[in-house]
Amino acid sequence: MDDVRFVLCDLDGVVWLARRAIPGSAEAVERLRAAGRRVLFVTNNSMSPIADQEDALAAIGIPAEGDVVTSAQAASSLVSSGQRVLVCGGDGVMEAVAASGADPVNVGDRPSGRFDVVIVGLHRHFDFDGLQAANAAIRGGARFVATNDDVSFPTPDGPTPGAGALVAAVSAVTETAPTIAGKPHSPMAALVAERCGPDFRPERALVVGDRGSTDGAFAGAIGCPFALVRSGVTAVGALPDAEVPIALDEADLAAVARRLLDH
């Protein structure tokens, strides 16, 4: 752990729950940065634009400009400039696709015509017409991309449906498996390595997350250690669902920071 220079933190269940700060998380990030660690926030939340997520982090005392990496950005790395993309997702996906030079079309606008790519992410206007639009586009030859396949995400009131639940519906009706962009898959791993810069080495990074099947697998995909926190999906005392070794098993991000800095 002395060699860790990059701390790759999940957001939901690690830093906050429904954007309510988990106690000690802001102070932990501040301590890690003060000790020379680069902290990136790597999230499968694709709904919100980057500035919105950065502003929400700033509101709980964590400056984060340039330090948020999302599954929407990972998904947009799979489209090419000029392609027409049907976005069955939130504003974060629309923003990321536009930034890639492609042409994002919101499924809520009831569009017609041919599409090159369909991107499905979490959104709260999912309905039958949107499902049929995605079905028609994919059966018409569009590539099917999912921002992530988490079927739920944690909130203070318990788990709520995640993007994976919507992706499963589209996959069922189209009889097509998507390319998944977010954690723990390779598009997100490549994007994180790029964002960390030329000094990035897997052995110098630590993934911190609350879900072994996603965050732990992401650490495995990168080839770095995994720190499990029990402030989100994995409750205190629950058996972790990680299939990779757990380097640290702690109550929360503050405890992880103490283990890294105070030993």
**What strands lie across the sheet with 117-120, from one edge to the other?**
103-106, 84-88, 117-120, 143-146, 179-180
**What tokens were used for 85?**
């993309």
Catalytic residues, which ones? 10, 12
List of the chain residues with pLDDT < 50: none
The topology (CATH level 3) of 73-180 is Rossmann fold (3.40.50)
69 CA to centre of own chain: 7
User: What pLDDT, on the 0 to 100 scale, is given for residue 263?
Assistant: 66
Q: What is the pLDDT of residues 27-67, one digit of tens each?
A: 999 999 999 999 999 999 999 999 999 999 999 999 999 99
> Who contacts 158 (Cβ-Cβ below 8 Å, separation ≥6)?
none
- Sign of the Cα torsion 106, 108, 112, 114 reads positive
Beta bridge partners of 250: 229
Terminal Cα-to-Cα distance of the chain (whole angstroms): 10
Q: Which of 122, 156, 102, 160 is nearest to 43 (CA)?
A: 122
Residues of the chain with CATH 3.40.50.1000: 6-44+183-261, 73-180
Q: Do 254 and 25 meet the contact criterion of CB atoms below 8 Å apart? A: yes
Residue reference for tokens 């920071």: 257
Nearest to 164 by CA among 156, 176, 175, 153: 153
The CATH code that applies to domain 6-44+183-261 is: 3.40.50.1000
pLDDT on residue 2 = 77
pTM: 0.92
Q: What are phi and psi of 135, to 5 degrees?
A: -60, -50
**CA–CA separation, 177 and 105 (whole Å):** 22
**Amino acid in the structure at residue 116:** D
* Paired sense of beta strands 179-180 and 143-146, if any: parallel
232, with CB counted inside 10 A (0-12, 13-18, 19+), is: buried
Q: How far apart are CA 67 and CA 4, in angstroms?
A: 17
